[in-house]
């Protein structure tokens, strides 16, 4: 009797096992397809781009490769012996014909050896799509189809570029002890349509999780796979965007994106909801302290962050990173505001220490990388700043402001060639829309102005306008370039166009500036009113077009009649138009504001003949 019971028990288990292998619920399929596509689109792609990053050390690369096989959170391959068709050691390997099979370990080592390094992402996967879940001899699996693009050179054959290749990854599927699906890459080969002729025969049957599916339900499930696939793909995209916003410390945006991912694929609620709660708690703490920071209570905020950091082991690494970053920003701001050199050195030193600790706890904290780069710029540590910018771009190549900042630092350092390359690299980014590319061409035009290549500058601004005819800055800076090229009339047309396109008459803010633009203004560039009318007026003033200068300066005066610099420019214009007596009245009004320094006025080249005038000397002596 015992043997009969045991035999029956074994039979039941076998039947249950076979059923589990032959059927899956719709929720199971959604999760498996989403994870499988994410394994290729995100994890495999990130691994290759990280290996190809210029700044990656060999020891770090070796560790990453090993972690991709071993039992860790970074594991993506079933083991290091799984087969991958070689598409890397020779650009000629773009199909099954002639391509050798490598183990995963050999493939990754070959990638590290033969694929050229770069500072930005160069490996791209597109057209990612998963098959239905399939039944193998021993396990379930799913195929993920994708097209791979290698942008960098093959070091074994630099003259021949890589071709796009269609690939298929076989993904091993198992259910872990905690009832979660675990997926690992078990093979990657070149795609061949002939291999999919009988592909549907191995499909696992999909059933409703609440009851055994009837024929009509099977038919209904067969009509919906595309919708399910699209929802899973969009959900993954939202989750990827959320992770990026999280790295940027835009927690509210991250929470909203994770919520959208859950709405599309509700089964992911268990995966994302606990993390949303963590982000919400962090957001509450940081938001309160940010408000105090904005109000200028820096020492109070420092004490609050220090309290949170007293027991770092009780916090998550992400939270510790945030607390050090927040405290570092306080020291940073205090260093910017103090008038004491010694205090600034101390505060900047404290800020750097906190930024370093923040990065140690979370080296994907993009806000820490950015703020540390900005601090290095203020400290004139340009090499360190550029290193930070490159570190940022290795993690997020989609931020246009980082390319602009790095270009500006290279220009300040005297490396104009690299400054142009920084903008050119940004222009190759496929995810930038026409408006962003227009902005980058404005950046490039400004660089050309700074190296006095006005013809190339004009071409760049023309290109910017062709991409986005509403880009007011393109017209404004083309006008600046034309002034420097002595094309005053056409410059005037550009300035008027900039105003009509919406460039605010009281504010001009742009990431890059024209070096020595101050030579066209009658004031220190860092102190002049940030007004387009004021700047255009001074440009005309220095170009000898006094009537045009007066028109724009008068507009600037109407919007800010008490500004000492505007009054000074008006006085200069009136003097240069030949009315010395009237100009002296305006100079007196300007000097009374205490806005100008005597040394600046006495070194003003436009006023050389007036410097010896007794009444002008008396005014300087009385007020300056």
C-beta of residue 281 within 8 angstroms of C-beta of residue 400: no
Report how far residue 508's alpha carbon sits from residue 530's, in angstroms, rounded to the nearest whole number: 6
Q: What is the DSSP string of 311-366?
A: SGGGS-HHHHHHHHHHHHHHHHHHHHH---HHHHHHHHHHHHHHHHHHHHH-TT-H
What does pTM read for this prediction? Answer: 0.56
The answer to whether 578 and 528 are in contact (CB under 8 A) is: no
Considering only residues 465 and 3, tell me which one the structure prediction assigns the higher pLDDT.
465
Per-residue confidence band for 595, with pLDDT thresholds at 50, 70 and 90: confident
Give yes or no for residue 5 having a pLDDT over 60: no
Confidence of residue 604 (pLDDT cuts 50, 70, 90): confident
pLDDT in tens, 364-406: 999 999 999 999 999 999 999 999 999 999 999 989 999 999 9
Residues 6+ apart with CB under 8 A from 121: 49, 394, 397
Confidence of residue 311 (pLDDT cuts 50, 70, 90): confident
Least confident span in 6-10, 78-82, 217-221, 345-349 = 6-10
pLDDT of the residue at 536: 79
Specify the pLDDT at position 1: 42
Q: Compute how many other C-beta atoms are within 10 angstroms of the C-beta atom of residue 387.
A: 16
First to last CA, the chain: 114
pLDDT at 331 over 90: yes
Least confident of 28-37, 44-53, 487-496: 487-496
Choice among 112-121, 252-261, 299-308 with the minimum mean pLDDT? 112-121
Number of separate domains in the chain = 1
For residues 316-340, average pLDDT: 94
Closest to 184 in 3D by CA, of 202, 169, 168: 169
* 425-461 pLDDT per residue, tens: 999 988 888 999 999 999 999 999 999 999 999 999 9
The pairing of strands 140-150 and 165-175 is antiparallel
Pseudo-torsion of CA 566, 567, 568, 574, nearest 10°? 110
Mean pLDDT of 108-137: 88
Whether the per-residue pLDDT at 525 is higher than 50: the answer is no
Q: 539 or 320: whose pLDDT is higher?
A: 320
Helix/strand/coil percent split, the chain, to 5: 65, 10, 25
What sign does the CA torsion over 27, 32, 37, 38 have? positive
pLDDT category at 115 given cuts 50, 70, 90 is very high
For residue 511, what pLDDT is reported?
58
Alpha helices by DSSP H, listed for 181-316, are: 215-223, 225-247, 251-264, 269-294, 298-308
Mean pLDDT of 12-29: 57
pLDDT at 512: 58
Which residue range is the domain that position 120 belongs to? 22-195+203-223
Predicted pLDDT at 520? 41
Residue 477 falls inside a structural domain: no
CA–CA separation, 9 and 317 (whole Å)? 48
Give the per-residue pLDDT at 227.
65
Give the model's confidence band at 344: pLDDT under 50 very low, under 70 low, under 90 confident, else very high.
Answer: very high
Answer yes or no: is pLDDT of 530 > 90.
no
**Residue 68 domain-assigned (yes or no):** yes
Of the listed ranges 84-93, 224-233, 415-424, the least confidently predicted one is 224-233
Look at the block and give the residue holding tokens 């703490």.
285
- For residues 154 and 115, the answer to whether their CB atoms sit within 8 Å is yes
Pick from 71-85, 332-346, 495-509 the range whose average pLDDT is largest: 332-346
Residue 564 covered by a domain: no
The pLDDT tens digits for 235-294 are: 888 999 999 999 999 999 999 999 999 988 888 888 888 889 999 988 899 988 999 999
Distances (CA, A) of 367 to 38, 247, 248, 281, 333: 25, 7, 5, 19, 15
pLDDT given at position 392: 93
**Is residue 10 over pLDDT 80?**
no
Q: Is residue 555 part of a domain?
A: no
Q: pLDDT, tens digit, for every residue of 178-232?
A: 778 889 999 999 987 766 645 555 677 666 544 444 545 444 444 455 666 678 8
Domain assignment present for 15: no
pLDDT greater than 70 at residue 36: yes
pLDDT score for 382? 92
Instruction: Specify if 385 maps to a domain.
Output: no
Residue 115 pairs in a beta bridge with: 154
pLDDT above 60: residue 12: no
The larger pLDDT score, comparing residue 491 to residue 384, is at 384
pLDDT of residue 514: 57
**What is the reported pLDDT for 406?**
94
Enclosing H/E stretch for 171: strand 165-175
* Range from 6-10, 282-286, 295-299 carrying the lowest mean pLDDT: 6-10
Backbone angles phi, psi at 178, to 5 degrees: -90, 20
CATH number at residue 122: 3.10.450
Structural domain includes residue 144:
yes
Instruction: Pick the more confident residue, 5 or 567.
Output: 567
Question: Would 43 be classed as within a structural domain?
Answer: yes
pLDDT computed for residue 487 by the predictor: 83
H runs (alpha helix) in 488-545? 488-500, 532-542
Q: What pLDDT score was predicted for residue 126?
A: 87
* Rounded mean pLDDT, 102-129: 89
Give yes or no for residue 572 having a pLDDT over 80.
Answer: yes
| Mean predicted lDDT score pLDDT of the chain | 84
């Amino acid at each position: 009797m015992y043997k009969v019971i045991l035999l029956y028990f074994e039979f039941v288990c076998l039947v249950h096992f076979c059923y589990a292998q032959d059927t899956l619920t719709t929720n199971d399929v959604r999760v498996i397809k989403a994870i499988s596509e994410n394994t290729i689109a995100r994890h495999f792609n990130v691994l290759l781009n990280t290996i190809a990053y210029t700044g990656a050390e060999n020891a770090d690369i070796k560790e990453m490769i090993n972690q991709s096989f071993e039992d860790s959170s970074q594991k993506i391959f079933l083991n290091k012996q799984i087969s991958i068709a070689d598409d890397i050691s020779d650009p000629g390997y773009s199909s099954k014909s002639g391509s050798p099979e490598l183990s995963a370990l050999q493939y990754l080592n070959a990638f590290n050896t033969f694929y050229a390094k770069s500072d930005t992402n160069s490996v791209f996967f597109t057209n990612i799509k998963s098959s239905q879940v399939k039944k193998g001899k021993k396990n379930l699996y799913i195929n993920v189809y994708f097209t791979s693009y290698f942008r960098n050179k093959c070091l074994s054959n630099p003259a021949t570029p890589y071709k796009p290749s269609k690939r298929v990854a076989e993904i091993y599927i198992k259910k872990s002890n905690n009832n979660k699906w675990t997926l690992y890459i078990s093979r990657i080969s070149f795609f061949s349509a002939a291999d999919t002729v009988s592909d549907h025969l191995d499909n696992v049957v999909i059933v409703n999780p609440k009851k055994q599916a009837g024929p009509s339900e099977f038919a209904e499930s067969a009509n919906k796979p595309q919708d399910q696939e699209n929802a899973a793909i969009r959900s993954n995209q939202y989750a990827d965007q959320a992770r990026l916003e999280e790295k940027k410390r835009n927690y509210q945006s991250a929470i909203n994106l994770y919520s959208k991912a859950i709405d599309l694929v509700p089964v992911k609620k268990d995966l994302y909801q606990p993390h949303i709660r963590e982000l919400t708690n962090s957001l509450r703490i940081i938001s309160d302290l940010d408000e105090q920071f904005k109000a200028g209570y820096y020492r109070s905020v420092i004490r609050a962050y220090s309290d949170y950091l007293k027991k770092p082991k009780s916090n998550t690494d992400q939270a510790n990173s945030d607390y050090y970053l927040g405290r570092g920003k306080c020291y940073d701001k205090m260093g910017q505001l103090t008038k004491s050199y010694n205090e600034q050195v101390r505060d900047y030193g404290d800020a750097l220490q906190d930024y370093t600790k923040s990065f140690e706890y979370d080296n994907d904290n993009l806000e820490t990388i950015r703020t540390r780069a900005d601090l290095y710029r203020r400290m004139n540590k340009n090499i360190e700043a550029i290193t930070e910018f490159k570190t940022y771009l290795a993690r997020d190549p989609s931020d246009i402001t980082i390319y602009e900042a790095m270009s500006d630092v290279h220009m300040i350092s005297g490396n104009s060639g690299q400054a142009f390359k920084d903008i050119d690299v940004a222009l190759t980014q496929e995810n930038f829309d026409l408006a962003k590319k227009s902005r980058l061409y404005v950046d490039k035009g400004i660089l050309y102005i700074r190296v006095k290549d006005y013809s190339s500058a004009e071409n760049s601004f023309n290109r910017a306008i062709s991409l986005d005819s509403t880009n007011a800055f393109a017209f404004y800076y083309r006008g600046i370039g034309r002034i420097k090229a002595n094309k005053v009339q056409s410059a005037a047309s550009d300035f008027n166009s900039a105003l009509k396109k919406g460039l605010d008459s009281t504010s001009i803010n742009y990431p890059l500036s024209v070096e020595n633009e101050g030579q066209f203004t009658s004031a220190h560039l860092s102190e002049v009113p940030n007004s387009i009318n004021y700047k255009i007026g001074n440009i005309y003033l220095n170009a000898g077009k006094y009537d045009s200068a007066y028109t724009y300066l008068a507009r600037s005066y109407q919007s800010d009649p008490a500004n000492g610099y505007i009054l000074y420019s008006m006085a200069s214009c009136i003097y240069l138009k030949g009315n010395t007596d009237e100009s002296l009245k305006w100079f007196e009004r300007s000097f009374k504001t205490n806005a100008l320094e005597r040394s600046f006025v006495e070194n003003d080249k436009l006023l050389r003949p007036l410097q010896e005038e007794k009444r002008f000397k008396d005014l300087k002596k009385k007020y300056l």
